[in-house]
Structure 1
Amino acid sequence: MTRTPFFPKFADLPTELAVFPLPGAVLMPGVQLPLNIFEPRYLRMIDDVLAADHLLGMIQPQETPGEDETTPTAPLHPVGCAGRITSYSETSDGRIVLVLTGVCRFRVTGELAERAGYRRVAPEWRDFAADLDEPVSGAIAERRPFLVALERYCQVRRVEVPWQDLEQMPDTDLVNLLCAHLPLSPEDKQALIETLETPARAVLMRGLLEMATIADIDVDDQRH
């Protein structure tokens, strides 16, 4: 996956981070996430980020009873992932279209005062220092059964994936890509991003894929 020479070193990661709370969207190290920015407060956020270190945190808001998780004050999940803006363009109708490339996950130690209407946090990076290492193979204990579970899930959900490219990816990149882009529930995505090591994350993902496949097959059987 994409890791550019412009990525910061671990020691240079910031102590304050602008965040973009978005339900159902997670970023993982090395993975690219396209974003379409149009709200005024987030346009201001992107201007500030580009004027600084180009780093932006993606994080999911928590769902709380009686409160819409998209509201500006919704509490945040404890773990998100910072990305670097690696592509950027402005549209004639006032939007910004960008690509965010995952750099390193972070743990929220506190929320800071808003700036120009957007939210900021104090990130703790220490638990996720390995995110900046080169991707490795051998992290999935049983890669073939993992891919079989993925194939069954994609067949049932009618998800198209580039199988040839996936099979050539190092395990870390493969699992991170799937975390970000498979149509899993927000809760499942959050559980995956909070799982520290790739081997454990691969085990969890395989279980989630198998459970989702069985549930979809049972629903389909009931309809018939």
Structure 2
Amino acid sequence: MAESVSPSEEQLPTVIPVFPLLGALLLPRGEMPLNIFETRYVQMVRDAMGSDRIIGMVQPRSTPQSIAGGQGNDGAGLYEIGCAGRICSFAETDDGRFLISLKGVSRFRIEEELSSLTPYRQMKVDYGDFEEDRAIPARRAGVDRDALLGSLTRFLEQRGLNAEWSSIEKAPDELLVNSLAMICPFEPAEKQALLEARSLTERTQTMITLMEFSLADPTIDEDDDRPPQMPN
């Protein structure tokens, strides 16, 4: 059995608040900065800070209703699989916003939505399918880095983007793959496919396939997406 680096399934809460956010992808050991400004989610963060600091990130299904929703697309149906994150940094602004970072802990499967008096949604979740999320990753995990970086180079050129190649080349396999999955400009359904990949190898191949599909699309031009940067 792989050595654990994160809380065991038994140590993780089975009822968690969720922040439904279209296009947001959090993966285990990845970090996601969030600017929390709506009253219900300010309350959610405040409550999480007073307990286990766990918040579940999950995408709403892409419907006209979800796209027209508020910061968290509250009324939308949700994908079944999301990722729990622990608040690892927190700051409050003068105008009452919370600036936080979530560090991914483990993916989960939603079992049911609970009736709650809180203004935010709460779910009963199960982590049992994702034991590998809480294990220490190997520095080299059999990822085809040459194929991935080749596709990435062409993908960024297609969009007029740059990358911090020195950081990318030094990154361990999991950090490389998961960071690129989180920050590259993929569509919400594509990000969900990356989240649900059963292994790092499968996630890598899925990302390569998505990039190659994009490269074959003549309608995609340069845009203003920010360049991918590797976290420290």
Q: So what's the TM-score if we normalise by structure 2?
A: 0.86
TM-aligned CA deviation for residue 162 of structure 1: 1.8
User: What letter matches 2:27 in structure 1?
Assistant: M
In structure 2, distance between residues paired with 1:220 and 1:42: 35
Distance 1:208 1:23, change over 3 A: same
Q: Which residue of 2 aligns with 1:80?
A: 82
Secondary structure in 2 aligned to 1:151?
helix
Question: Residues 140 and 202 of structure 1 are in contact (CA less than 8 Å); yes or no, is this contact kept in structure 2?
Answer: no
2:219 paired residue number? 219
Q: Distance in 1 between matches of 2:10 and 2:185?
A: 34
- Give distance in 2, aligned partners of 1:121 and 1:26: 18
Q: Does 1:177 align with 2:183?
A: no
Partner of 2:38: 39
Q: Which runs of 5+ in 1 are unaligned?
A: none
Match of 2:48 in 1: 49
The letter for the 2-side match of 1:43 is: V
Letter in 2 for 1:157: R
Q: Which moved more, 1:46-55 or 1:70-79?
A: 70-79
Alignment partner, residue 62 of structure 1: 61
Q: How far apart are the structure 2 equivalents of 1:28 and 1:149?
A: 21
The equivalent residue for 2:225 is none
State the distance in 1 between where 2:50 and 2:121 align.
17
What residue is the counterpart of 1:14 in the other structure?
13
**CA distance 1:52–1:168, shift in 2 (3 Å):** same
Q: Partner letter of residue 164 of structure 2?
A: P
Q: Please give the root-mean-square deviation of Cα atoms over the aligned residues, in Å.
A: 1.7
Superposition pairs of residues 23-172 of structure 1, within 5 angstroms: 23-64=22-63, 67-69=65-67, 70=69, 71-172=73-174
Matched position secondary structure for 1:204: helix
Residues of 2 paired with 1:11 and 1:38: CA distance?
Answer: 32
Whether the aligned pair in 2 keeps the contact of 1:24 and 1:60 (CA below 8 Å) is yes
Query: How far has the Cα of 1:141 moved from its partner?
Result: 4.3
Contact persistence 1:150–1:209 (CA under 8 A): yes
TM-superposed deviation, 1:220: 6.2
State whether residues 62 and 77 of structure 1, in contact with CA within 8 Å, keep that contact through their aligned partners in structure 2.
yes
Partner SS, residue 192 of structure 1: helix
> If the length of structure 1 is used for normalisation, what is the TM-score?
0.89
Deviation at 1:125, TM superposition (A): 0.3
Question: Which of the pair is proportionally richer in helix?
Answer: 1
SS in 1 for 2:121: strand
Give distance in 2, aligned partners of 1:8 and 1:159: 37
Q: 1:207 to 1:48 in 2, by over 3 A?
A: same
Structure 2 gaps of 5+ residues are 222-232
1:32 and 1:160 mapped to 2: Cα distance?
21
How far 1:135 moved relative to its partner? 2.0
- Report the CA distance between 1:83 and its aligned residue: 0.6
Q: Pick from 190, 193, 206 the counterpart of residue 188 of structure 1.
A: 190
The answer to whether the 8 Å contact 2:62/2:188 transfers is: no
- The one-letter code of the counterpart of 1:219 is T
Distance 1:175 1:220, change over 3 A: closer
Residues of 2 paired with 1:136 and 1:177: CA distance? 16
Determine helix, strand or coil for the equivalent of 1:41. helix
Once the 2 structures are TM-superposed, how far is the Cα of residue 68 of structure 1 from its aligned partner?
3.1
- SS of the residue 2:216 aligns to: helix
Write the distance in 2 (CA, Å) between the matches of 1:220 and 1:33: 27
